Structure 1
């Protein structure tokens, strides 16, 4: 039973050149574009017929990127795609010479306006703030655009990074993509915050600005030390008294100090002179005249009276000489003592004056010293503020990281609850995938596993299409087939009613698997009013004759061939001409 609803179908692709092979698709059912290799040249391949170019041109008419090579090698060409949306016919025409615009039912639209219109008609519930999900990214899931699109079931474009791939695939599986975006934002914020913190900690310029030569491991100790220093300096400034004549007082104190130094030096000279006089006064004759005479007598040497008299005269002379010397020394000592007393008085007076000046200087200070004290306090305050700012900044980053970690935990918890709430949706995806996969591999577990990714990364969901026999030949191709059909059949967030596969899907795999693909495609397209379009090489189609009865082959293959392309001549190729185009950029 065919169920009609708001749908999008492909009807026909044509060009404004007669050489082009117009391709008309079956509105419901399977449409096969068969490629036949006629040339016996071993260098000639099915690829030269235009099968992949056909897919590219459909994307071109559905708002694909501009291609300068089309303009250079196919000047004046324009391609038109007829399609239905809710059974309303539309024709989109795009000229290779003016690729920025598309004519839709003869009304011209800018390329972005056209794709926005297509998105509004075919996909829904896409929040405006999502950057990497659009009509163009989603339509690739129904018409795999490139050779690399057939490498794995979940990668439609190698250019898509993990987040983009997950976002688009999750959307078509019916998952809440806001959860994907939220985790990506959290991870980016986490990475940014950690990077900023790391830069501040490790960047020599930043660290020097904030901490100077302080050890970052001892910041708290440094801050406490600076607090105490600031307290002392602040107290000193508060108690500081500025003397207006401080400089003149200091100058007078310096002069007094110099005078004291001179007087003390002079006193020392006089004091030493008095000591020397006292030492001289203590000098006595070593031996008297009488002692000399006794020495002679003891030696039994007779000396006459004249010599004795001479000894007495010499002794008397020395006595008088010493007397005169003593008198002179005593007079000099008296003079020195008088001078010493006078110097002591002067020194005492100067000492008292010096003490008064120094006491005054100690109790007050100069304006210059006061300014220096304030400057020192300011420098300490600046260093203190920088260290506190540094500590607070790192603390802010640490707090932010903790907040993000908490948000991660909450999002993980909320996602686990969410996945329990959508068990029916998950079951539906599994059942549809399994209904296709079991036709290829009986008694093998298969399905689409959707799990919460709780890791510290940007991936919200782990999505894995699995078939137990995933080590055999052709399993990857079967996964692609089953996954794409799951997206089509479940109709999550879209009303696209077709899949278009390239011959790469069935190339080099077991004919039994190919036969199963055509059998399933025929059944589901006719049962549910869908389209399945595929390009196929004659070699793979011929191999199916051993898998189908003649009647089945006619029903599943021959009756569904809508166009044949060959390498027999230029005219039998898609464009009707031979041209080398690079459209897999």
Structure 2
């Protein structure tokens, strides 16, 4: 049960709770005009602060984060399983992610137990609520402690009084039904299965709508196209895997590469030198052919025809000259022969060099071709990783395309299968459905008379487990609000009886807006009786004038009034003790 709500701001008016019915009343100050409002007294703020200390995540601009109180530390003391002295939990709007807990330490057998404060992150606190207050298992998809608290502590700011099952307008029917099913003792796992189907159907609709976009095939494609791309990508990956497996790292790869370049340059330069030497060789051979002994016989013939007889001395001179020229020709032939021999030797040597360099180049290139540098292996491995990632992306796209192209019959079949499973489970859980229906009927008939039909319909719908409350009433004013009252009281009683929920239920005064005075009177009397019988705590805020009409109807609220008494005094009459 809730014990106390306080704050470290001395102006805040501490609220002390008690077992059973708790009435927090907002009174009208003496002399107030009929047009004065009590909306700012703090009735709804009490509910918001309870939610805040019990783990809600405040939105920007919500009550705990407002400038006037964001640094105020609010503390809720409450009963807690395994803690005889209860537990205190504190939070401030300026640090919404931090929760301070104050609880008793383990009794070591000494004279005194001890208490200790602990700071914990908000998710850990909500996990405590789920495991200790609601006994949720570690794995509880579709059901959460915060959603369950929103059924037991409804907030007008979330429009929680608009629908008996939903606690906020955007909540899906499947999620809302799953949480209520847990409190009522039904199979909440089956109920949350609708949520998974709804998510799948929504995704399918979005993707099906996207398929109408011309860019769809560019982003996802069809299953047929993607199958072809996957086959090619798998071949590329397999080829690269083999290359990586067969890759041989050459330690001096860069040196071999430089050596291959040098050998290639040398091999390329040899033909140029051959061309020059072969041209020179042709010139040398032509020069040898042209190097002949001089012919002087024509000189004597010319002089004889002229009738001139040359003396022997002259003939001797010609012989000397002829011998000299013959010597020159011999020397030239010898020189040319030596040059030809050297040139032919150079050409032959280059031919041998070419063969040798070619063999070295072939050996070097083979080493380069069969292996590579470590950088080359790394680059090859990176390329393989990229190809593998691309292949995986194609497979994901193929799965998406398959999902989108799958027939609606698959989802329909699963929906039918789930409906059958839920219907079968409801039959097997007849005791739980009877308990919930009977309690709700008794509560509603207490408010509207025993001759009125009032019952719960629990069945497997097409999109959610359908829990519908029926109250036959000729007077429909406020009927929906009292349906919520009866359903909440039913869920709180059953959950507490079977250890699936805490022992408190909280309602804001807005629940009774538009409700006839007779039903308000009966609701308060019923709540006080049920709370006493079931060991529950029912906290409700009220305006004094509506409570006065209930008093006139036969309900005495005096034993259930709790402090403080709120009023519309401008300065300090509200819950916070000041205006902000």
Other-structure match for 2:25? 34
Structure 1 partner of 2:300 = none
Q: Residue 507 of structure 2 contacts residue 540 of structure 2 at CA under 8 Å; is this kept in 1?
A: yes
3-state secondary structure, aligned to 1:48: coil
Alignment of 1:13 onto 2:5: yes
Q: In the alignment, which residue of structure 2 is the partner of 1:523?
A: 529
Q: Following the alignment from structure 2 to structure 1, what is the Cα–Cα distance between the partners of residues 55 and 201? A: 37
User: Is the 8 Å Cα contact of residues 451 and 462 (structure 1) preserved in structure 2?
Assistant: yes
The verdict on how the C-alpha distance between 1:176 and 1:535 changes in structure 2, with shifts beyond 3 A counting, is same
Instruction: Name the structure 2 match of 1:421.
Output: 428
Question: Aligned runs of 1:341-380 on 2, under 5 Å?
Answer: none
The 1-side partners of 2:415 and 2:560 are apart by: 56
CA distance, structure 2, for counterparts of residue 193 and residue 452 of structure 1: 23
Find the counterpart in structure 1 of residue 154 from structure 2: 144
Cα distance, 1:196 vs structure 2: 5.2
Conserved 8 A contact 1:172-1:493? no
Unpaired runs of 5+ in structure 2? 103-116, 223-398
Query: Does 1:85 find its partner at 2:76?
Result: no
- Kept after mapping to 2: 8 A contact 1:506/1:540: no
**TM-superposed deviation, 1:494:** 2.0
Structure 2 counterpart SS, 1:47: coil
The TM-score with structure 2 as length reference comes to 0.60
Deviates more, 1:493-502 or 1:15-24: 493-502
Q: Determine the C-alpha separation between the residues in 1 that align with 2:38 and 2:211.
A: 60
Q: Distance in 1 between matches of 2:14 and 2:220?
A: 72
Give the secondary-structure state (helix, strand or coil) at the position aligned to 2:176. Answer: helix
Name 1:47's counterpart in structure 2.
39
What corresponds to 1:476 in structure 2? 480
Cα distance, 1:187–1:470 mapped onto 2, change above 3 Å: farther
Distance 1:165 1:191, change over 3 A: closer
SS at match of 2:470: strand
Change (3 A) 1:444 1:203: same
Q: Distance in 2 between matches of 1:55 and 1:527?
A: 24
CA contact (8 A) 2:3 2:77 kept: yes
Query: Equivalent residue for 2:412?
Result: 405
Secondary structure at the counterpart of residue 476 of structure 2 = coil
1:23 maps to 15
Q: CA deviation at 1:194?
A: 6.7
Alignment of 1:97-112 (within 5 A): 97-105=94-102, 106-112=117-123
C-alpha distance in 1, partners of 2:58/2:401? 48
Q: Which residue of 418, 432, 440 maps to 2:439?
A: 432
Establish whether residue 535 from structure 1 lines up as the match of residue 541 from structure 2.
yes
Higher relative contact order (CA 8 A, sep 6+): 1
Alpha carbons 2:204, 2:403 under 8 Å: kept: no
Distance 1:146 1:58 in 2: 13
Q: 1:515 to 1:98 in 2, by over 3 A?
A: same
- Matched residue pairs, number? 383
**Residues 102-181 of structure 1 mapped to structure 2, 5 A cutoff:** 102-105=99-102, 106-126=117-137, 128=139, 130=141, 132-147=142-157, 148-181=159-192
Corresponding position of 1:563 = 564
Gaps of 5+ in 1: 1-8, 212-391, 580-585
- Contact 2:7–2:14 (CA under 8 A) maintained in structure 1: yes
Offset at 1:541? 1.1
Matches within 5 A, 1:55-66: 55-66=47-58
Q: What is the distance in 1 between the residues matched to 2:217 and 2:473?
A: 57
Shift of 1:503: 1.1
TM-score, normalised to structure 1's length?
0.60
Q: Which of the pair has more CA radius of gyration?
A: 1
- The equivalent residue for 2:494 is 490
Residue in 2 that maps onto 1:329: none
Does the aligned pair in 2 maintain the 1:448–1:464 contact within 8 Å?
A: yes
Once the 2 structures are TM-superposed, how far is the Cα of residue 134 of structure 1 from its aligned partner?
1.7
Bigger shift: residues 517-526 or 196-205: 196-205
The Cα shift of 1:465 comes to 0.7
Q: Distance in 2 between matches of 1:161 and 1:393?
A: 25
How far residue 72 of structure 1 moved from its aligned partner, in angstroms, is 1.9
